[in-house]
Amino acid sequence: MKKGQTTNPACIEKPETKPKRIRQKATPAASLPRRFLAAAVDWYGSALCGNLIITLVVSLTQGQLIVTSSITDLSSGLAMTAVCLSSCAVLAYFIMIPMLVPGFQGQTPGKHLAQIRITHREGKPASPAQLGGRALCFLFLEQTFNNAAFLVRTLLTRFVNPGLIQGVYVFGLAASLVSVLLLLKTKRFMLHDKLTGTQVAAVE
């Protein structure tokens, strides 16, 4: 710039500023009594959904109403069908209800009753993938938390060495114990929370 010239204030380049990221407000973790209440209700509710499918398949096969949760009297093909449909009903309980039922965003019936919900760690609503991941953890990892896992193991004993199935059960029992111990820590993340990046927070 030559001597004597004045600068136009409008032409002065201002340093670029990056937009600030607005962080979601952290929500308080759900208390232990609320989580235990929700777990008890959801264990019963999901087992009821799964057992209704078993009852339906057995009743249609026998030609009369038989209320049961056992697949021992079914052929291998029908048992496989019944267990697959029953597992889908349990997965729907933990995935579709929190996603689709009005007023239940991130909530199963048990969590709705306990006034807690599943969220992303940052406080955002949990994604369908996260809800699905949690449900699969219940079914295949933390197996003592639901009746569907018992039906799957019962079915597999028809095709796999029972000793191997017993080992799978012991593994699931250990995973469930680790999950409960993690729940007792301050942040209250169970094993499925850590694996899926979710948390269970109190409803404000």
pLDDT band at 25 (very low <50, low <70, confident <90, very high): low
Distance of CA 43 to the CA centre of its chain: 12
pLDDT at 42 over 80: yes
Residue with tokens 């965003």, as numbered in its chain: 105
**pTM confidence score:** 0.81
Residue 27's pLDDT is 73
pLDDT at 24 over 60: no
Residue 62's pLDDT is 92
Residue 12's pLDDT is 53
pLDDT band at 123 (very low <50, low <70, confident <90, very high): confident
Q: Are residues 35 and 118 in contact, defined by beta-carbon separation less than 8 angstroms?
A: no
- The full set of domain ranges for the chain reads 28-202
Q: Are residues 119 and 27 in contact, defined by beta-carbon separation less than 8 angstroms?
A: yes
Average pLDDT over residues 66-76: 93
Residue with tokens 């019936």, as numbered in its chain: 109
Q: Are residues 191 and 178 in contact, defined by beta-carbon separation less than 8 angstroms?
A: yes
Q: Are residues 94 and 134 in contact, defined by beta-carbon separation less than 8 angstroms?
A: yes
pLDDT band at 22 (very low <50, low <70, confident <90, very high): very low
Q: Are residues 107 and 118 in contact, defined by beta-carbon separation less than 8 angstroms?
A: yes
Distance of CA 79 to the CA centre of its chain: 25
Residue 201, classed as helix, strand or coil, is strand
Dist. CA 85–CA 65, nearest whole Å:
18
pLDDT, mean over the chain? 87
Structure tokens at 108: 């199963």
pLDDT-wise least confident of 36-50, 67-81, 176-190? 176-190
pLDDT at 148 over 70: yes
* H helix runs in the chain, sequence order: 32-62, 76-100, 109-114, 128-140, 147-156, 162-183, 191-196
Structure tokens at 167: 């080992």
pLDDT band at 107 (very low <50, low <70, confident <90, very high): very high
Average pLDDT over residues 145-150: 84
